[in-house]
């Protein structure tokens, strides 16, 4: 890609930053966002005055502490005024969608340097209130009001996948076991310890067949990135990673409207566009961060991204294909499961991880020599998919 397209027509990420994910009882959401933003500005070598567009992703603060207009709040507390500040919302895909809109803003020629900040502070809120608020991202009228929660909806996907493709309980546990093994080396991760398949299978049931360790946790945290027009890269210190494709697609809000609940139509659609744009195939991806809010999410996603044959996701994960030392490392960061899932920050944190991997600065979790990576962020039960292909060159 790099040699075919003039730098001015490409977009680069020149800075990233994030907080550790986990419980942050001692900090406000303003402070958490600011910590990630400050780290990101320093990494990019960019001053606040250079930022001319700001995107903020957050899903639940309007419910949790009755605060909307968070893009202005972040611009204001970050000293970035009078920057154009916009909050985007696409459920758990909000972070990826924010990155995509910074990309579009710069690509449009209307902005030169765009920043994204994603944040969520969930520990303060009771678990039933969180479960109910998150259901705002599914179909409230047709799913939420009859008592469905996200674990319940994803449990339907898991049970159907097991029935249709023969995915086993051990395979369903595999994404979580892999995530925890990877997170040990990630200083940002919420859970830096290994778990066994047996522990997953003996955990308390959340929504059969999903048990506690199949599910991503409740987390606090923020992540940030700065994007610039390609010809301005030289002006700043940050080591650039290039965006080769940024695509987004939607599927039905409610599960019952889909012909096959074990397929993420939005993923197939966004992936097709992205691979066409980059003139590449799924097998050309060298490393990926894939949305694993529940272990079944990762299983279905790696199939619909075309990494493995449909129905073989659980088998391939359990078989080590997506291990850090496997053919295609997926979720070396620990993923949503073990790194943590502060919803608004998640999609940006995937990009932060990928930038560090492609720069070769990922420390103990570095996958050697990777040049091209993919991030996939999902919202709802796969109702939104947003996908980025990043390139070292």
Catalytic sites, residue numbers: 92, 341
Q: Tell me if residue 4 falls in helix, strand or coil.
A: coil
Dihedral pair phi/psi, residue 28, rounded to 5°: -80, 170
Least spacing, CB of residue 120 vs a second copy, in Å = 13
Figure out which of the listed residues 4, 6, 109, 325 binds a second copy, where binding follows CB under 8 A.
Answer: 109
Q: Which stretch binds a second copy (CB under 8 A): 36-44, 157-165, 251-259, 291-299?
A: 251-259
What count of other Cβ atoms lies within 10 Å of the Cβ of residue 160? 16
Query: Sheet of 11-18: strands edge to edge?
Result: 53-57, 113-121, 220-229, 11-18, 241-250, 384-391, 372-379, 287-290
Q: Are 381 and 138 in contact (CB under 8 A)?
A: yes
Least spacing, CB of residue 376 vs a second copy, in Å = 14
Least spacing, CB of residue 270 vs a second copy, in Å = 8
Q: Is 197 in the site for a second copy (CB under 8 A)?
A: no
Q: Is 269 in the site for a second copy (CB under 8 A)?
A: yes
Q: Which is nearer to a second copy, 92 or 316 (CB)?
A: 92
What count of other Cβ atoms lies within 10 Å of the Cβ of residue 68? 11
**How many CA atoms lie within 13 Å of 281's alpha carbon, on the beta-carbon side?**
2
Least spacing, CB of residue 254 vs a second copy, in Å = 8
Q: Which is nearer to a second copy, 223 or 267 (CB)?
A: 267
Q: Which is nearer to a second copy, 172 or 249 (CB)?
A: 249
Q: Are 333 and 353 in contact (CB under 8 A)?
A: yes
Dihedral pair phi/psi, residue 121, rounded to 5°: -130, 105
Q: Which is nearer to a second copy, 145 or 168 (CB)?
A: 145
Token readout for 162 is 């097991």
* Distances 139 to 102, 133, 145, 208 between C-alpha atoms, Å: 28, 12, 9, 21
Which residues between 130 and 149 bind a second copy (CB under 8 A)? Answer: 132-133, 135-141, 144
Q: Which is nearer to a second copy, 134 or 176 (CB)?
A: 134
Q: Tell me if residue 319 falls in helix, strand or coil.
A: coil
Least spacing, CB of residue 102 vs a second copy, in Å = 10
**How many CA atoms lie within 13 Å of 126's alpha carbon, on the beta-carbon side?**
3
Distance (Å, whole) CA 189 – CA 341 = 10
Residue owning tokens 């997953």: 200
> Following DSSP, what letter does each residue of 151-209 receive, concatenated?
HHHHHHHHHHHHHHH---HHHHHHHHHHHHHHHTT-TT-S--S---HHHHHHSPEEETT
Q: Which stretch binds a second copy (CB under 8 A): 211-219, 228-236, 248-256, 278-286?
A: 248-256
Distance (Å, whole) CA 109 – CA 334 = 36
Q: Is 274 in the site for a second copy (CB under 8 A)?
A: no
Q: Which is nearer to a second copy, 133 or 331 (CB)?
A: 133
Closest CA to 226 of 83, 17, 69: 17
> What does DSSP say about strands 53-57 and 113-121: parallel, antiparallel, or unpaired?
parallel
Q: Which stretch binds a second copy (CB under 8 A): 208-216, 297-305, 349-357, 377-385?
A: 377-385
Q: Which stretch binds a second copy (CB under 8 A): 42-50, 128-136, 183-191, 352-360?
A: 128-136
Residues in binding contact with a second copy, number by CB under 8 A: 63
Q: Which is nearer to a second copy, 139 or 298 (CB)?
A: 139
Token readout for 194 is 């290994």
Figure out which of the listed residues 189, 243, 253, 285 binds a second copy, where binding follows CB under 8 A.
Answer: 253
Least spacing, CB of residue 189 vs a second copy, in Å = 27
Which residues between 39 and 98 bind a second copy (CB under 8 A)? Answer: 54, 59, 62-63, 65-73, 75-76, 80-91, 97
Figure out which of the listed residues 3, 26, 108, 364 binds a second copy, where binding follows CB under 8 A.
Answer: 108
Binding site for a second copy (CB under 8 A): 54, 59, 62-63, 65-73, 75-76, 80-91, 97, 101, 103-105, 107-110, 132-133, 135-141, 144, 246-254, 257, 265-266, 269, 379-380, 383-384
């Amino acid at each position: 890609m790099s040699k075919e397209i003039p730098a001015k027509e490409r977009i680069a990420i020149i800075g990233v930053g994030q907080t550790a994910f986990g419980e942050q009882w001692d900090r406000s959401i303003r402070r958490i966002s600011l910590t990630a933003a400050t780290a990101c500005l320093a990494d990019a070598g960019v001053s606040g005055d250079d930022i001319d567009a700001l995107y903020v992703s957050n899903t639940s603060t309007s419910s949790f502490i009755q605060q909307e207009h968070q893009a202005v709040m972040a611009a204001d507390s970050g000293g970035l005024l009078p920057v154009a500040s916009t909050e985007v919302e696409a459920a758990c895909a909000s972070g990826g969608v924010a990155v995509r809109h910074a990309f579009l803003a710069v690509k449009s020629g209307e902005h030169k340097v765009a920043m994204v900040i994603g944040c969520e502070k969930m520990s303060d809120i009771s678990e039933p209130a969180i479960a109910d608020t998150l259901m705002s991202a599914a179909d409230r009228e047709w799913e939420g009001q009859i008592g469905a929660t996200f674990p319940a909806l994803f449990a339907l996907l898991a049970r159907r996948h097991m029935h249709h493709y023969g995915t086993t309980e051990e395979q369903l546990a595999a994404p979580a076991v892999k995530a925890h093994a990877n997170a040990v080396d990630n200083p940002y991760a919420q859970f830096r310890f290994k778990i066994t398949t047996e522990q997953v299978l003996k955990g308390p049931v959340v929504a059969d067949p999903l048990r506690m360790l199949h599910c991503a946790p409740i987390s606090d945290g923020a992540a940030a990135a700065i994007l610039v027009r390609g010809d301005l890269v030289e002006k700043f210190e940050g080591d650039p990673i290039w965006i080769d494709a940024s695509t987004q697609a939607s599927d039905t809000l409610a599960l019952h409207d889909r012909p096959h609940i074990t397929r993420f139509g939005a993923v197939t659609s966004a992936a097709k566009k992205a691979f066409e744009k980059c003139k590449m195939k799924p097998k050309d991806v060298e490393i990926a961060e894939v949305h694993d809010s529940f272990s079944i999410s990762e299983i279905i996603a790696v199939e619909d991204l075309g990494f493995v044959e449909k129905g073989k996701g659980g088998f391939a994960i359990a078989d080590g294909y997506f291990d850090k030392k496997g053919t295609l490392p997926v979720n070396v960061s620990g993923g949503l499961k073990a790194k943590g899932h502060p919803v608004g920050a998640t999609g940006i944190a995937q990009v932060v991880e990928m930038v560090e991997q492609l720069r070769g600065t990922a420390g103990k979790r570095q996958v050697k020599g990777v040049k091209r990576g993919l991030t996939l962020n999902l919202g709802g039960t796969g109702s939104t998919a947003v996908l980025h292909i990043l390139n070292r060159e």
